[in-house]
């Protein structure tokens, strides 16, 4: 399993172990299929290449199904709903998506928050960080105006930081699924089957 363990509550470190919803969920699937699970942590934008090149069998990384990714990999049935949300400082003048215009926005490199901000926010200065939490730290330090990131992870990060809030209006609606190599139809069927049972 290729993942990027910088994404609580889906995958993160507890000591030197990668834990979280995806890790538990993948372990449950492997168990159902009588397979051993080995988790490989890597940069988020390496997860799809790892799967499409066969270096990893599955990518489980709170990964949103999107048309660009579907050109390189297949996705299982979906297992969670999410959205991109905006994090700002508590006293920020940014009150909703329209106020992002012309602002500096921190994102995790290669995520849907990155693509959304780059493609949909007029005159945005998109700052790409290798970890989502680094974007949140930059926001706390006043280096950027906002962070765009997945809703569930935003909640975890805001709990850990001082003086930040999540705006109510989401930017997108997304669904997470497991990425599998296009030529691995057999594993896809097995995983969807296990998913349905779980």
Helix (DSSP H) and strand (DSSP E) numbers for the chain? 6, 12
Residues composing the chain: 198
* Stretch touching ligand ARG by CB under 6 A, among 5-13, 32-40, 97-105, 180-188: 5-13
61 binds ligand ARG (CB under 6 A): yes
Burial of 146 (0-12, 13-18, 19+ CB in 10 A): buried
Give the nearest distance from C-beta 50 to ligand ARG in angstroms. Answer: 13
11 binds ligand ARG (CB under 6 A): yes
- CB-based contact 96:169 (threshold 8 Å): yes
140 binds ligand ARG (CB under 6 A): no
Rounded Cα–Cα distance for residues 113 and 149 (Å): 5
- Closest to 164 in 3D by CA, of 92, 69, 60, 72: 92
Give the nearer residue to ligand ARG in terms of CB position, either 63 or 85: 63
7 binds ligand ARG (CB under 6 A): yes
* Stretch touching ligand ARG by CB under 6 A, among 49-57, 91-99, 108-116, 184-192: 108-116
- CB-based contact 177:75 (threshold 8 Å): yes
Interacting residue with ligand ARG among 52, 64, 74, 128 (CB under 6 A): 64
128 binds ligand ARG (CB under 6 A): no
Give the nearest distance from C-beta 91 to ligand ARG in angstroms. Answer: 27
- 42 C-beta neighbours (distance < 10 Å), count: 17
6 binds ligand ARG (CB under 6 A): yes
145 binds ligand ARG (CB under 6 A): no
DSSP-derived secondary structure letter, 165: E
Interacting residue with ligand ARG among 25, 44, 75, 116 (CB under 6 A): 44
**In 122-138, which positions are buried (b, 16+ CB within 10 angstroms) versus exposed (e)?**
eebebbbbebbbbbbbb
Give the nearest distance from C-beta 22 to ligand ARG in angstroms. Answer: 8
Q: Which two tokens stand for residue 83?
A: 């959205």
Interacting residue with ligand ARG among 46, 74, 111, 172 (CB under 6 A): 111
**Given the rule CB under 6 A, which residues bind ligand ARG?**
3-4, 6-7, 11, 44, 61-64, 108, 111-112, 150
């Amino acid at each position: 399993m290729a993942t990027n363990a910088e994404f609580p509550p889906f995958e993160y470190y507890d000591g030197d172990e990668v834990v979280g919803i995806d890790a538990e969920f993948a372990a449950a699937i492997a168990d159902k299929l009588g397979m051993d699970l080995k988790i490989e942590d890597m940069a988020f934008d390496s997860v799809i290449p790892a799967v499409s090149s066969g270096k990893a069998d599955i990518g489980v990384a709170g990964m949103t199904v999107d048309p660009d990714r579907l050109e390189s990999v297949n996705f299982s049935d979906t297992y969670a709903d999410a959205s991109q949300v905006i994090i700002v400082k508590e006293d920020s003048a940014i009150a909703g998506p329209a106020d992002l215009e012309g602002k500096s926005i921190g994102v995790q490199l290669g995520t849907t928050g990155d693509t959304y901000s780059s493609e949909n926010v007029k005159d945005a200065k998109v700052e790409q960080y290798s970890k989502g939490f680094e974007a949140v730290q930059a926001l706390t330090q006043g280096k950027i105006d906002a962070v765009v990131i997945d809703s569930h992870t935003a909640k975890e990060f805001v709990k850990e930081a001082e003086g930040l809030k999540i705006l109510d209006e989401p930017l997108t609606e997304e669904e997470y699924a497991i990425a599998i190599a296009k030529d691995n139809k057999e594993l896809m069927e097995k995983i969807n089957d296990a998913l349905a049972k779980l």
